[in-house]
């Protein structure tokens, strides 16, 4: 430690004691005091603050740019879209989000209750089997359902070759390219969010309440409605919001099954280079997302259900009795439809594909592209997440919490909007990076940084601030403390966050699709392209590989809930 720094440190303490310098004018002194107050008397070093601030800025700039563009799109365009497209889109989007959310919540809660509270055979297994749809990207699910139930799918062939079906019911009745197709696929691949959250809170539920209810003469059904369900309300709310946000942001399923919500409309407007209209639709979608987030904050504040912890008793397991077979069938059907069938279809087509030489150099090129862009994004996320998390935890203030909130902007909003903003910015202001690998990587960072932040935060909360203080007292600036002292002790958490980002990046479709430079297709993009061309033997191996990679962080995900 240099003498000089030592001296500065000393004078710092003096300042504290005398509350301000004498040399500076009053207004500066006032500002400085305000500054210190906003950090609760403990401002972070400049390096750390600058780092955090610029990250927060990068995270939010693309979205601000889109909003800005939409404000200058011209009254005419606004008028035309407001008269015609927007009401229709609002209706279609809302209808889908509502239907999927309700259905997924019902399925998720029933499954959670059955698995946690009843003696269904194989309880332990179902707990994680039913969460498996999480590893299948919904657009892959959509592809498998097009293969099975599409206009030239397996089910159609079976129907056509089965005379009595044709005679009794007429021509093949299923149209997957419809609201019901999209609704079904989205429900089947999003219910695990509710299932996981509801299972966790059912497991924590205290038995005492139920015993009291039972002593008052309530039967199991009444207990479920009057005791269990109210306790589950926060969990259901959280799950429902996750699902609604997902439906708003989904692009793959919707466009593959030819339904149009805001994301698809924005993508198509952009594809025909009507950027102004795309921005306007984006602004409406941003507002829609904000409304949902606002609802979440509102409901979270209102609903607090306290459970006394000192007399906690594990909830008891109910006997299914005569309901055993029907329940098992219900659970089995859901599992079959959301996991087994898609995997069978993918394996079937992968075998055909491998036989036809789908695993050629091109395929490995795509896999390599996926790997390196996701790896780069996840490393970047790990580095960028640290200062934000560290600031928020050790230097709480308005500024650090706004940086934190800004970083969530790209996470909450659909990928198409992030991509739209990034195209604007890079093409107009950063031409050297435009159409490069880095543009895609930055989009992925903006989309998934919060996943790394959450993982880092969880680990950091276990490290005592006393350690930081000890290091600081030895004269190290905050950013050095963070990297040298704190980072090594929370590294496992940071790496877990990186793994999450990695997997999300591999699966990401819309932003990659819109931003990929020429000659840089990824596995996800190929699945989308080949599936749209009905070249399933080429799409299936890529899809299967994505799913295999997605299994990696499943353990972590399951532990989180």
Partner 1 sequence: MKKAIKLLLFTSLLMLFVLVATACDQQDEEEIVVYSSRNERFVQPLLDKFTEETGINVRALHEADALQLREEAGNVQADIFISNDIGALEYLRMEDLLASFDGEGVETIDAQYRADDNSWIALSARSRGFIYNKDMITEEEMPKTMEDLMDPQFEGQFAITRGGNGGMIGNVSALRNEWGDERTAEWIEAIKENAAGIYNGHGDIRQAVGAGEHPFGLVNNYYYHQQLEEPTNNNVGFIYPDQAEGEMGVIANAAGVGLVNGGPNEEDANAFIEWLLLPENQLAFVGESLEIPINPDLDPPYEHAVRFTDLKVQQMPLKDLGIYFEDTKELIEQSGLDLELR
CB of 88 or CB of 401, closer to partner 1: 88
Is 518 a binder of partner 1 (CB under 8 A)? yes
Q: Is residue 491 close enough to count as binding partner 1 by CB under 8 A?
A: yes
Query: How many C-beta neighbours within 10 Å does residue 316 have?
Result: 10
Among 128, 149, 224, 437, binds partner 1 (CB under 8 A): 437
Q: How many residues belong to the site for partner 1 (CB under 8 A)?
A: 37
Stretch that binds partner 1, among 243-251, 279-287, 392-400, 482-490 (CB under 8 A): 482-490
Distance between alpha carbon 358 and the CA centroid of its chain, in Å? 31
Give the residue, chosen from 45, 435, 463, 554, that forms a contact with partner 1 under the rule CB under 8 A: 435
Q: Which two three-digit tokens encode residue 390?
A: 């560290």
Is the separation of the CB atoms in 301 and 234 below 8 Å?
Answer: no
Does position 487 bind partner 1 by CB under 8 A? yes
In this chain, which of 200, 318, 379, 458 binds partner 1, going by CB under 8 A?
379
Q: Is 166 in the site for partner 1 (CB under 8 A)?
A: no
Supply the DSSP string of 23-39, one letter for each residue. SS-HHHHHHHHHHHHHT
Told to check if 178 binds partner 1 by CB under 8 A, we report no
The correct pick among 94, 128, 179, 434 for binding partner 1 (CB under 8 A) is: 434
φ, ψ for residue 118, nearest 5 deg = -120, 170
Q: Is 157 in the site for partner 1 (CB under 8 A)?
A: no
Among 23, 167, 219, 272, binds partner 1 (CB under 8 A): 272
Among 23-31, 319-327, 396-404, 424-432, the segment contacting partner 1 (CB under 8 A): 424-432
* Residues 242-271 within binding reach of partner 1 (CB under 8 A): 258, 260, 265, 268, 271
Q: Half-sphere exposure of residue 13, counting CA atoms within 13 Å on the CB side?
A: 7
Among 462, 441, 554, residue whose Cα is nearest residue 500: 554
Alpha-carbon gap, residue 162 to 156, rounded angstroms: 10
Q: How far apart are CA 209 and CA 298, in angstroms?
A: 27
Give the C-alpha separation, 48 to 51, whole Å: 5
Residue 224: φ, ψ to 5°: -60, -45
If the CB atoms of residues 2 and 272 are measured against partner 1, the closer one turns out to be 272
Q: Please, which residues have CB within 8 angstroms of residue 56's CB and are 6 or more apart in sequence? A: 388, 402, 403, 404, 406, 407
- Identity of the residue, 313 or 362, whose beta carbon is nearer to partner 1 in the bound complex: 362
533 binds partner 1 (CB under 8 A): yes
Q: Which residues contact 311 (CB under 8 A, 6 or more apart)?
A: 206, 208
204 in contact with partner 1 (CB under 8 A): no
Out of 359, 529, 552, 558, the residue judged to bind partner 1 by CB under 8 A: 529
How far is residue 398 from each of residues 44, 224, 298, 452, 482, measured CA to CA in Å?
A: 13, 43, 21, 22, 20
Nearest approach, Cβ of residue 398 and partner 1 (Å) = 32
| Nearest one of 491, 473, 474 to 483, comparing CA atoms | 491
529 is written with which tokens? Answer: 């392209």
Residue 519 binds partner 1, judged by CB under 8 A: yes
Nearer to partner 1, 18 or 171 (CB): 171
354-373 mask for partner 1 (x: CB under 8 A)? Answer: ------------------x-
Give the binding range for partner 1 (CB under 8 A) out of 125-133, 201-209, 454-462, 484-492: 484-492
Beta partners for residue 118, in sequence order: 318
- Of residues 273, 357, 462, 559, which one binds partner 1 by CB under 8 A? 273
CB of 332 to partner 1, least distance (A): 34
Cα(61)–Cα(75) distance, integer angstroms: 24
| Residue 505 Cβ vs partner 1, minimum distance, rounded to whole Å | 13
Tokens 């279609």, located at residue: 92
The answer to the question of residue 9 lying near partner 1 (CB under 8 A) is no
Using the contact rule CB under 8 A, the part of the chain among 205-213, 295-303, 340-348, 427-435 near partner 1 is 427-435
Smallest gap from residue 84 Cβ to partner 1 (A): 10
Min dist. Cβ of residue 334 to partner 1 (A): 31
- Asked if 375 touches partner 1 (CB under 8 A), the answer is yes
If one counts every other C-beta atom within 10 angstroms of the C-beta of residue 173, the result is 8
DSSP lists the bridge partners of residue 318 as 118
Instruction: Find, among 295, 307, 306, the residue nearest to 237 by Cα.
Output: 295
Kindly indicate which of the ranges 105-113, 137-145, 316-324, 428-436 contains the residues binding partner 1, using the contact rule CB under 8 A.
428-436
CA dihedral 531, 536, 542, 548 (to 10 degrees): 110
What minimum distance in Å lies between the beta carbon of 556 and partner 1? 17
Q: Rule CB under 8 A: is residue 88 a binding residue for partner 1?
A: yes
CA-atom Rg of the chain in angstroms = 27
Q: 3-state DSSP: the chain helix, strand, coil percent, rounded to 5?
A: 80, 0, 20
- Measured from the CB atom, the residue of 42 and 162 that comes closer to partner 1 is 162
Residues that bind partner 1 (CB under 8 A): 88, 151-152, 258, 260, 265, 268, 271-273, 275, 372, 375-376, 379, 382, 427-428, 431, 434-438, 487-489, 491-492, 495, 516-520, 529, 533
């Amino acid at each position: 430690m240099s003498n000089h720094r030592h001296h500065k440190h000393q004078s710092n303490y003096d300042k504290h004691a005398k509350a301000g310098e004498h040399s500076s004018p009053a207004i500066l002194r006032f500002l400085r005091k305000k500054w210190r107050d906003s950090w609760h008397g403990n401002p972070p070093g400049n390096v750390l603050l600058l780092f955090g601030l610029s990250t927060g800025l990068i995270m939010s700039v693309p979205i601000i740019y889109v909003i800005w563009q939409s404000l200058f799109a011209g009254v005419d365009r606004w008028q035309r879209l407001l008269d015609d497209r927007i009401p229709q889109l609002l209706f279609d989007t809302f209808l889908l989000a509502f239907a999927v959310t309700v259905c997924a919540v019902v399925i998720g809660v029933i499954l959670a209750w059955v698995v946690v509270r009843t003696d269904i055979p194989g309880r332990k297994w179902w707990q994680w089997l039913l969460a498996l749809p999480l590893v299948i990207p919904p657009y892959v699910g959509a592809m498998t359902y097009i293969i099975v139930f599409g206009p030239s799918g397996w089910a159609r062939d079976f129907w056509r070759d089965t005379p009595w079906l044709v005679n009794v019911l007429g021509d093949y009745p299923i149209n997957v390219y419809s609201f019901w197709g999209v609704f079904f696929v989205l429900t089947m691949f999003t219910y695990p969010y509710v299932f996981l959250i509801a299972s966790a809170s059912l497991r924590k539920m205290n038995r005492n309440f139920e015993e009291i209810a039972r002593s008052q003469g309530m039967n199991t059904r009444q207990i479920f409605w009057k005791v269990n369900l109210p306790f589950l309300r926060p969990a259901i709310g959280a799950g429902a919001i996750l699902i609604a946000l997902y439906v708003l942001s989904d692009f793959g399923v919707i466009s593959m099954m030819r339904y149009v919500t805001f994301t698809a409309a924005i993508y198509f407007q952009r594809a025909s280079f009507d950027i102004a209209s795309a921005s306007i639709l984006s602004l409406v979608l941003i507002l829609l997302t904000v409304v949902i987030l606002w609802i979440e904050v509102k409901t979270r504040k209102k609903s607090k259900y306290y459970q006394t912890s000192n007399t906690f008793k594990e909830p008891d397991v109910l006997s299914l009795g005569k309901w055993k077979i029907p329940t098992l069938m219900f659970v089995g059907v859901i599992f079959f439809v959301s996991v087994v069938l898609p995997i069978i279809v993918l394996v079937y087509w992968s075998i055909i594909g491998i036989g036809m030489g789908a695993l050629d150099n091109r395929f490995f090129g795509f896999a390599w592209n996926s790997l390196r862009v996701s790896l780069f994004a996840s490393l970047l996320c790990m580095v960028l997440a640290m200062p934000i998390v560290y600031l928020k935890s050790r230097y709480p203030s308005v500024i650090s919490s706004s940086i934190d909130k800004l970083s969530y902007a790209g996470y909450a909003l659909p990928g198409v909007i992030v991509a739209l903003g990034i195209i604007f910015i890079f093409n107009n202001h950063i031409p050297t990076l435009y159409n490069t690998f880095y543009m895609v990587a930055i989009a992925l960072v903006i989309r998934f940084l919060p996943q790394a932040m959450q993982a880092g935060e969880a680990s950091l909360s276990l490290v005592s601030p006393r350690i930081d203080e000890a290091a600081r007292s030895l004269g190290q600036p905050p950013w050095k403390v963070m990297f040298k002292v704190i980072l090594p002790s929370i590294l496992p958490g940071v790496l877990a966050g990186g793994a999450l980002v990695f997997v999300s990046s591999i699966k990401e479709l819309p932003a990659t699709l819109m931003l990929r430079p020429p000659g840089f297709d990824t596995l996800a993009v190929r699945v989308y392209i080949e599936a749209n061309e009905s070249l399933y033997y080429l799409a299936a191996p890529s899809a299967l590989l994505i799913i295999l990679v997605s299994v990696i962080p499943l353990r972590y995900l399951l532990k989180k809930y």
